[in-house]
Amino acid sequence: MGVLALVSVQLPAQDLPQFKRIVRELCSAKYQGRGYARGGANKAGKYLQREFQKAGADEVSLQPFSIDINTFSGAMDMWADGKKLRAGVDFSMREYSPGVKGEFPVYYVDTLHFDAERIYADLAKPENANCMVCCDFWFTYKHRDVFSRLQKAGELPNAGLLFTWTAPIKFYKAYGEKVVDKPIVWVTPEAIEGVKRVRLNVDNAFLEDYGLFNVIAKVEGRRHDSCYVFTAHYDHLGNLGRRVYYPGANDNASGTAAIVTLAAYYAQNKPEYDMYFVAFSGEDANLRGSTYFAEHPIVPLGQIKYLFNIDMIGDDNPVQYCEVSDAGLAQFPRFEQINAELQLFERLNRGELAANSDHYPFAVRGVPCIFLENEDGSAFPYYHTPADNMKTIRFDSYEPVFRLITAFVDLE
């Protein structure tokens, strides 16, 4: 059937109540941010296994793998000149930071008259002994050759670093497979401005060979020589101390819920080709689950007609961001035509392919794929913060994303 006939076709209805129910469940406190230290990711994976079975999938299996990961689920306290700061709001930890306990003077880097040798000389002065070096994060990134020395034991006498980042403060896990020598704390400029001394009481725990798993559901089609694959990551950031967790409603309970409802749709409407729905773990730990799957595929990668990776669609931007693999570009005009005819989004904004979500391990292996993420809406500023929850998520993008995908597949 041609795309020009779309307007006369009755397209499938998405299941918004089911979508909301799954999102609400995944970002609830019982999963503690779907992280690793308290087992939240694996609890969420078992829940999804049951949801795919309830959706009518013909097969549901678990694909185990393991990671090394640094975590923060113990003490998480910081004071600035005696004022208690809020974990996850005023400060967070760099993912590869060790724990830290003690009180430290603050040394501020002069970014207007930056001179690395002067910094090194200043740190040798008695008044700066055992200090925390404070600087804007993006400035440290630009001069990372200088600041990397400040992270290593035996290089310079500073106790650690304070990286300033504008609110809302973020937390990451991508490079948590290691622990550096000195603590690194993200902190908002407002929380640290003019502060002379900070006190820290932070615990970390490094987990080695920690077991995770991908959840794989299959809906059989009439043909088995090719397949479509629908992916989303269900893990998230977990905890920042004992009391703070990251619900991850938009990132990425939204994408996970979407592939469950897609599985339910295809279970009720037998497809032409086999359909695989893969909920990845380890995405926030640098795409570990999707990389493992791409290296150990349960079907040959060459049989994948197209892969759809859905990440952070719990937003309300009328423009849909996407990335497309080189192998998938030939069919991208079809996405654009479907979108225009069905008036789903104002436009599809295609960005450069990047290693920012689970499509990437497949894209670099020649699989035709598209990454769908609704950026820069009202929910977007809250991603990777404790405020990414049921209060800030938006549901505007779910229906058009569902219709865009199903039209592409069903009306081939």
Domains and CATH numbers, the chain: 3-68+208-410 (3.40.630.10), 76-202 (3.50.30.30)
What six digits make up the tokens of 10? Answer: 């009755």
Q: What are phi and psi of 90, to 5 degrees?
A: -95, -25
Residues 52-71, mean pLDDT to the nearest whole number: 98
Look at the block and give the residue holding tokens 């041609």.
Answer: 2
pLDDT at 245 (0 to 100): 98
Average pLDDT over residues 293-303: 97
Question: 208-239 pLDDT, tens per residue?
Answer: 999 999 999 999 999 999 999 999 999 999 99
Q: What residues contact residue 202 under an 8 Å CB cut-off, 6+ apart?
A: 72, 75, 76, 77, 78, 93, 97, 99, 100, 101, 183, 185, 241
pLDDT per residue over 69-105, tens digit each? 999 999 999 999 999 999 999 999 999 999 999 999 9
Condensed to tens digits (0 to 9), the pLDDT of residues 352-377 reads 999 999 999 999 999 999 999 999 99
Q: Which helix (H) or strand (E) holds 188?
A: none
Q: Which residue has the tokens 């090194």?
A: 120
* Distance of alpha carbon 210 from alpha carbon 70, whole angstroms: 10
Other beta carbons within 10 angstroms of residue 272's beta carbon come to 14
Could you give the CA distance from residue 57 to residue 51 in angstroms, rounded to a whole number?
A: 9
What is the spatial distance between Cα 174 and Cα 286, in angstroms, rounded to a whole number? 4
- The predicted structure's pLDDT at residue 13: 60
At residue 154, the pLDDT reads 87
pLDDT at 6: 47
| DSSP designation for 199 | E
DSSP 201-235: EE--EEEEEEEEEEEEEEE--SEEEEEEEEEEE--
Looking at 286-397, list the stretches that DSSP marks H as alpha helix, in order from N- to C-terminal side.
288-295, 332-342, 360-363
Q: Which two tokens stand for residue 195?
A: 């502060």
Q: Is 287 exposed, middle or buried (0-12, 13-18, 19+ CB in 10 A)?
A: buried
Q: What is the pLDDT of residues 330-359, one digit of tens each?
A: 999 999 999 999 999 999 999 999 999 999
Asked if residue 192 has pLDDT above 80, the reply is yes
Distance (Å, whole) CA 132 – CA 15: 51
CB 322 within 8 A of CB 370: yes
Tell me what pLDDT residue 255 has: 98
CB 231 within 8 A of CB 358: yes
pLDDT value of position 203: 98
- 1 pLDDT higher than 60: no
Residue 402 predicted with pLDDT over 90: yes
Q: What is the pLDDT of residue 357?
A: 97
**Under a CB-based contact definition with an 8 Å cutoff, are residues 185 and 76 in contact?**
no
Residue 11 pLDDT grade (very low, low, confident, very high; cuts 50, 70, 90) = low
34, 235 in Cβ contact below 8 A?
Answer: yes
Write out pLDDT tens, residues 102-146. Answer: 999 999 999 999 999 999 999 999 999 999 999 999 999 999 999
Q: Supply the pLDDT for residue 216.
A: 98
The mean of the pLDDT values for the chain is 95
Model confidence pLDDT, tens digit, residues 35-48: 999 999 999 999 99
pLDDT tier for residue 4 given thresholds of 50, 70 and 90: very low
Does the pTM surpass 0.85? The reply is yes
* Mean local confidence (pLDDT), 259-273: 97
State how far the alpha carbon of 203 is from the alpha carbons of 29, 66, 71, 80, 239, in Å.
21, 23, 9, 18, 12
* Secondary structure (DSSP) of 46-75: HHHHHHHHHHT-SEEEEEEEEEEEEE--S-
CB contact burial 161-193 (16+ within 10 A = b; e otherwise) = bbbbbeebbebbbeebbeebebbbbbbbeebbe
Q: pLDDT per residue over 269-296, tens digit each?
A: 999 999 999 999 999 999 999 999 999 9
14 band by pLDDT with thresholds 50, 70 and 90: confident
> Which of 246, 238, 259, 253 is CA-nearest to residue 394?
253
pLDDT at 9 over 80: no
Helix H or strand E encompassing 255: helix 255-268
Q: Does the pLDDT of residue 7 top 60, yes or no?
A: no
Predicted confidence (pLDDT) at residue 68 exceeds the cutoff of 50: yes
